Amino acid sequence: MTNDKFMKMLIGGEWKERPERIAVRNPFDNTLVGEVPAAGVEDVKAAIDGAVQALERDFPLHARYDVLVKAASLVDHRQEEYAHTIAHEGSKTIREARREPPRAANILRLSAEAGRRLTGETLPFESRVGSENRVGYYFRFPVGIVSAIIPFNDPLALAAHNIGPAIAAGNSIVLKPSALTPLSVLMLAHDLMDAGLPKGRLSVVTGRGSELGEAMVSDPRVRVVTFTGGVDVGLQISRWVGIKKVIMELGSNSPVIVMDDADLDRAVPAIAAGAFAQAGENCLGVQRILVHERVYDGFRDRFVKHVAGLKAGHSMSEDVDVCAMLTEKEARRVESWVKEAVEKGARILTGGRREGAVLWPAVLEDVPGGVRIDCEEVYGPVVSLYRVASLDEAIKRANRVDYGLHAAIFTERLDNAFKAVSGLQYGAVIVNDSTDYRLDVMPFGGTKLSGVGRQGIWSMIQEMTETRVVCFSL
């Protein structure tokens, strides 16, 4: 272990240590990957104090642009170091982890460009009788302080997704990564500071959400709160947050519809990748597969054969497809959900075996309605197959859960595609790909319990700014 993995947190532009530290461990074998300080509530307050002070110093748009672009280049220059860190501390294989640094660098560049497009427009005051002698416009200005709480599954990309828009829009941001995957986020903070980010514009507070959560969101000086995580924590945050802007992404139970005209050669590998990437710990992961009865048997046999061929093991093995879940506790929880479904009539077609935090990719059928694996977010490497007689039935079954983040359909018919687009109550409908597709410039979010507001670079810049109207009476 290199010394740079025993990292300090960034508070108001200063790298801080604390007597208590949090160990970061590899989920597969529990080896020590690094350590970070265990922050307290006073550290959150100090970070917000620093954010307030930073806003008092000028940080013009061209300088914000330069910092983000330079930081992106620094991320590019050590992509493999980032990838190894992500694969060691989280639930991604090394091949999956290698996709995250270039994505994060691109997010920073796109944020920089979006910041230069943040404009207002003139207003037609003479459209009202008596206002003929008035002219004016509106423009957008920073909200001030953003507080962000991000999860473990895409630590680097989600940090960039919050930091990039916040900085591009002219704000300060206080960010808390998962206590289980903070190392790559702190690496990004180093690159941003090395790129010239002024002190206080970014703080990264490392600690436990149960201890820091209320302080992160309740301070009245914070004007925007972003949170990605589970519904229960989202509900608690909504009680703490007060009157401020809130953006939440709270997970899903994502369905894929496979119609009788679908290209199965395309559908089978795409759906499997969407279900089992990142050990299934992915808010966009496929959880339910609704297959037309005319192709159900053929799809099931091909899909099960494909999944049975996936290799589970250590995240650093180049040929591993599914690595350990983040903790053995989570793997045990998912295993118990599978057992509950089986006890009530479901059948395991492949997988389901567990060793420590590794759960072999599982495919179930005959899953009864109402069991947790059917109606809640499993957040693990498990999918369920359902036989449907029509597209109408598939849409109805897809909509019956309390989530609505992403849904997908495989079909060769435009009328089927557009019917699904109209009928599925989700934030996005993906045609001829799995639900696990996200473009970083798209408005990202869902309906129902999947959250409120929209993430995505431009959407977040809009949320992280306010409009101000200017009117001249001539």
Q: What positions carry a catalytic annotation?
A: 249, 283
> Residues 345, 369: contact at Cβ < 8 Å?
no
> Residues 392, 401: contact at Cβ < 8 Å?
no
- Amino acid letter at 334? V
> Residues 257, 397: contact at Cβ < 8 Å?
no
Per-residue 3-state assignment (H helix, E strand, C coil) for 222-279: CCEEEEECCHHHHHHHHHHCCCCEEEEECCCCEEEEECCCCCHHHHHHHHHHHHHHHH
3-state SS, residue 426: coil
> Residues 137, 117: contact at Cβ < 8 Å?
no
CA atoms within 13 A on the CB side of 104: 34
- For the chain, helix, strand, coil in percent to 5 are 40, 25, 35
Of 91, 436, 123, 376, the residue nearest 252 (C-alpha): 376
Give the helix ranges, DSSP H, for 317-390. 328-343, 372-375
Residue 335 CB coordination number (10 Å): 17
Cα diameter, the chain: 77
- Amino acid letter at 181? T
3-state SS, residue 88: helix
CA atoms within 13 A on the CB side of 68: 31
- Which token pair is 134? 């008035």
Which residues have C-beta within 8 Å of that of residue 98, sequence separation ≥ 6?
Answer: 79, 80, 83
